[in-house]
Amino acid sequence: MAVRLHPQLRPLRRSAGTGSPQEYHQGLFDKNTEVVRIARITMTDSCRNTHAMMGASYDKEDDMEIVELKERKTLAVRFRTPAKELPTRMGPIYAEIAGYMAKMGIPFAGAPFAMYYNMDMNDLDVEIGFPVAKAAPEEGRVKAGTLPGGKLATAKHVGSYGTIEATYNKLMAFVGQQGLKTEAFMYEEYLNSPEDTPPDKLETNIYFPLKS
């Protein structure tokens, strides 16, 4: 069965035009920001077990499954950038959001995420931020938003960021086998940091929201 993905949705080929995959994701956890410390504090067992906490699981195969999740509130910054500049932009923006949350006393309610609305390497449309437990005030470009609820196809990639494309391909094939269609956007959750985690232990959750 052909994989029926939205035509805009393709895995971000980080090894083409963005530096190495490791350089791409290093931007998430720039050693000059507080993101590493914050992520380490917020990555509790309940945060890692999002599926059990947030909704029901349907079809499942190995590390891939169709889940139904509740919508989650977020604070995030949405911006456009050439893919090659993304690694240097993400870390400071995460730090900006985290600093605002600290100033306002807003607790973290999950892992840092990055949502991709297109895969145009010359003009990526990206939203990055953190889940929050309840609606929070906005400031400047830090906006209130949501991670989508409903049915999503998801896979956990354990290992080097350099091998994440294989997990994307497996998830795409799994979606096609279920006869489902994806929305025009997807997101990743980063459960730990390359700053203090061996490459083979890095954990990334990949989510494809599905059309009804």
Which tokens belong to 105? 């006393």
Question: What is the SS3 assignment for 43?
Answer: coil
Distance, in Å, from the CA atom of 42 to the CA atom of 46, rounded to the nearest integer, reads 10
Residue 2's CB is within 10 A of a number of other CB atoms, namely: 6
Residue 3 has a pLDDT of 37
Closest CA to 47 of 116, 147, 142: 147
So where are the chain's domains? 21-209
Distance, in Å, from the CA atom of 41 to the CA atom of 154, rounded to the nearest integer, reads 24
Residue 78 has pLDDT above 70, yes or no: yes
Determine the residue type at 98.
Answer: A
The confidence band for 76, taking pLDDT boundaries of 50, 70 and 90, is very high
Which tokens belong to 39? 């992520």
Distance, in Å, from the CA atom of 182 to the CA atom of 146, rounded to the nearest integer, reads 18
Between 172 and 55, where is the model more confident? 172
pTM comes to 0.79
Which tokens belong to 76? 């995030």
Average pLDDT over residues 3-7: 41
21-209 CATH fold: Multidrug-efflux Transporter 1 Regulator Bmrr; Chain A (3.20.80)
Between 25-29, 143-147, 192-196, the lowest mean confidence (pLDDT) is in 25-29
The confidence band for 212, taking pLDDT boundaries of 50, 70 and 90, is confident
Between 19 and 114, where is the model more confident? 114
Instruction: Give the angle subtended at the CA of 88 by the CAs of 117 and 42, to the nearest 5°.
Output: 75
* Rounded (10°) angle between helices 35-42 and 86-104: 60
Instruction: Give the angle subtended at the CA of 184 by the CAs of 178 and 189, to the nearest 5°.
Output: 80
Between 40 and 62, where is the model more confident? 62
Residue 195 has a pLDDT of 79
Average pLDDT over residues 133-152: 96
Which tokens belong to 139? 């400031």
Question: What is the SS3 assignment for 107?
Answer: coil
